[in-house]
Amino acid sequence: MGTKSDEQSAVGYRKPPRSTRFKKGRSGNPKGRPPRGSQDSDVLVLLRSALNESVTVQENGERKTITKAEAIVKQLVNKSASGDARAMQMLLAALRSIATPMDAADGERAGDKAGQMLMLERLTLEERLELRRLVAKAQGEPAETSAEVAEVVASSATGKQSGDEN
């Protein structure tokens, strides 16, 4: 039929020209697939921009310019106050979702206070007196007299004894 070079350079069905074939060791798509844009972030951006748009409302006979988010919250609160059960459920759910992180932060502060109190209880008498002196100095109060120091020593000694009895 034909020579080897004719068979290799034949062009036809399932035989593309040699110059357009993929080269060995090269990808057919060197740049790769284009990244898919995050649709979630696009929706959030659109939602934020829509909620931050300003609208003019009439409240108590006055025209005010507020954001759409503020208008939504005012309507929700007003409908809840008028007795709309669905609005009440939505408002309470929103309050719960906001209150949970706030309660956690308050709990952390309470834990900090408890830790500080525990640390103060562990201080020796000399350390307590030094702490009291430093606090008084920071607040600009006059230095304690030796009589006041003796009174503090006596009260802390009786406090420790009554604490031991429990």
**Cβ pair 66, 55 in contact under 8 A:** yes
Kindly give the residue spans of alpha helices, DSSP state H, lying in 85-124: 85-121
Q: How far apart are CA 161 and CA 144, in angstroms?
A: 25
pTM of structure: 0.40
159 occurs within a structural domain = no
Residue 134 domain boundaries? 123-153
87 occurs within a structural domain = yes
Same domain as 110, residue 127:
no
Task: Provide CB contacts within 8 A for 63, sequence distance 6+.
Answer: 56, 57
- Overall domain count for the chain: 2
- For 58, phi then psi, to 5°, come to -110, 120
Going residue by residue through the chain (166 aa), what tens digit of pLDDT does each one get?
A: 556 666 567 899 999 998 888 888 887 888 888 887 766 678 888 999 999 999 999 988 999 999 999 999 999 999 989 888 898 888 888 888 887 766 666 666 666 777 777 777 777 777 777 777 877 777 777 666 656 666 665 665 565 544 444 4
**Cβ pair 125, 156 in contact under 8 A:** yes
Same domain as 61, residue 111:
yes
Task: Provide CB contacts within 8 A for 129, sequence distance 6+.
Answer: 149, 152
139: amino acid identity, one letter = Q
Q: How far apart are CA 15 and CA 13, in angstroms?
A: 5
